[in-house]
Amino acid sequence: MTLVVALVGPTATGKSDLGLALAHALGGEIVNADAMQLYRGMDIGTAKLTVDERQGVPHHLLDVLDVREDASVADYQARARSALDAIAARGNRAIAVGGSGLYVRALLDHMEFPGTDEDLRARLEARVEAEGARALHAELAAADPVAADGIGPRNARRIVRALEVIELTGRPYSASLPQHVYEVPAVQLGLDCDRAVLDERITARVERMWSRGLVAEVEHLREHGLGRTASRAVGYAEVLTMLRGELTADETRAAIAAGTRRLARKQMGWFGRDPRVHWLDARDPDLVAKAESLVAAADAGELGLATDDPAPRRSLGS
């Protein structure tokens, strides 16, 4: 089976551009692995490539959800793996691009999806409203320290899901999380760069989004009703707060940049724990050639774990 190429790493490092370059070089098609780019109409705030910017390269798993829906990792896995099968049947290379770590893992690794209980989830969500997410995070930490360590105390949705799974299965939530073992053969390339440089890129990206009409995009989506997941996305949540009169425009841009920086650190923490990711400097003038060389080495079976790679992961603080 031809290896899937997965481009991962923090936001604003240039994954989309590298994905296009590799698609042209390898005869590839792009499979989106960014949770927010699944949504129709969430374009500017997610840095989604326009049709023209896709340069004729087929893109899959973009614009497949209404903003009123909640994204599901299980649904994504089924859709994305179906796309992989179709791409392989056409004799093309699948290139997964995105920074949503759980979605990348669901695409590539064995991952179980325990059932749900709407009544139980509703009770847990009511407790979040009444007690706060931190209180339930403390409860999760007592029941499953491994899961709590990987889920931030403000991530109410994942805290609720973890507690729901624990109660339904009687097992730690972390037991259902994927291991670093491929179910779909792949080579993962990570993009990273100096922290100060990344912060500058993030600030510039926020300014571009603002000038391209982010506020108008959010206003339009709000008229149609934003679901829980979409309304909490970085960029969209802050603009919604501004539209309620709680932030000025300058404060909103600053809040979006700060939220994006936090997201980048979180993404780096997630992908940095995966020893299979081969890291590249996003500023390297020979980036595309080096990425192609890594793919060729992986295809030939010559590429070991990233811990053996001559260009191992570098910290965002480097």
Pairing relation of β-strands 4-8 and 59-60? unpaired
Q: Encoding tokens for residue 305?
A: 């774990």
Contact 217, 148 (CB under 8 A): no
Contact 286, 178 (CB under 8 A): no
Annotated binding site for ATP: 9-16
Residue 315 has pLDDT above 50, yes or no: no
Residue 111 is predicted with a pLDDT of 85
Taking every pair of Cα atoms in the chain, the longest distance, rounded to a whole number of angstroms, is 57
Query: Which domains are seen in the chain, by residue range?
Result: 4-110+184-308 (3.40.50.300), 118-176 (1.10.20.140)
Residue 41 is predicted with a pLDDT of 97
Annotated binding site for substrate: 11-16
Annotated binding site: 9-16
Strand order in 277-281's β-sheet? 59-60, 28-32, 93-97, 4-8, 186-192, 277-281
Residue 303 is predicted with a pLDDT of 86
Residue 309 is predicted with a pLDDT of 44
Tell me what the mean pLDDT of segment 264-276 comes to: 93
Tell me what the mean pLDDT of segment 71-98 comes to: 96
Residue 305 is predicted with a pLDDT of 61
Residue 70 has pLDDT above 70, yes or no: yes
% of residues, the chain, pLDDT over 90: 85
Q: What is the pLDDT of residues 122-150, one digit of tens each?
A: 999 999 999 999 999 999 999 999 999 98
Residue 104 has pLDDT above 90, yes or no: yes
Residue 306 is predicted with a pLDDT of 61
Residue 152 is predicted with a pLDDT of 87
Residue 307 has pLDDT above 70, yes or no: no
Q: What is the pLDDT of residues 208-264, one digit of tens each?
A: 999 999 999 999 999 989 998 999 999 999 999 999 999 999 999 999 999 999 999
**Least confident segment among 80-84, 106-110, 311-315:** 311-315
